[in-house]
Copies of this chain bind each other. A is one copy, B any other.
């Protein structure tokens, strides 16, 4: 078995068991009869930056465990995954969620933001925040009603603009309460 396969087995174990294997378990995965052989294997993987240990000697997963290969752009040509990746691979969770405590998912219904590429059925990740900048897409309550719109702020003038010609801009009469700011969009096919 190659070292690649050993590493793949460790990653698989982590996904199946939601924890890192012990040296005993690594030995089993690699079909060694001795823990020490597993320890040497692990040390090689650590030197290669593919595994990590914490201060107490426990094994930790590295970014290689979570990341999805990032291949570059489509029109630039579809690169061969066997080649070196063009961009750093990345963990989805880390990539999309900055402030976990304040982040929520929200279904989008309605076509009011369709020209901004937000379609009915999409999911937005929003961060709870009461203040937003000009141009950000916000979840807001205007005169008692909740909507998803782009915030326009020009001096004292504040309005919420849909990205769809069918809907006119909303200028709040009484109150404009911003509940959250859209920080990313997800769509499943």
Within the assembled complex, what's the spacing in Å between the Cα atoms of A187 and B159? 24
> A61: shortest Cβ distance to chain B, in Å?
6
- Stretch among A31-39, A42-50, A103-111, A168-176 lining the B interface: A103-111
* CB < 8 Å neighbour of A19 from B58, B81, B92, B186: B58
Size of A's binding interface in residues, CB under 8 A? 65
Contact A107 B72 (CB under 8 A): yes
* CB < 8 Å neighbour of A136 from B73, B93, B118, B189: B189
Contact B78 A66 (CB under 8 A): no
CB-CB nearest in chain B for A61? B18
CB-CB nearest in chain B for A118? B117
Given contacts A72-B107, A74-B147, A81-B104, 14 further A-B contacts (CB under 8 A): A18-B60, A19-B19, A68-B97, A68-B125, A73-B108, A74-B107, A74-B110, A76-B146, A91-B93, A96-B188, A117-B119, A117-B122, A184-B186, A185-B185
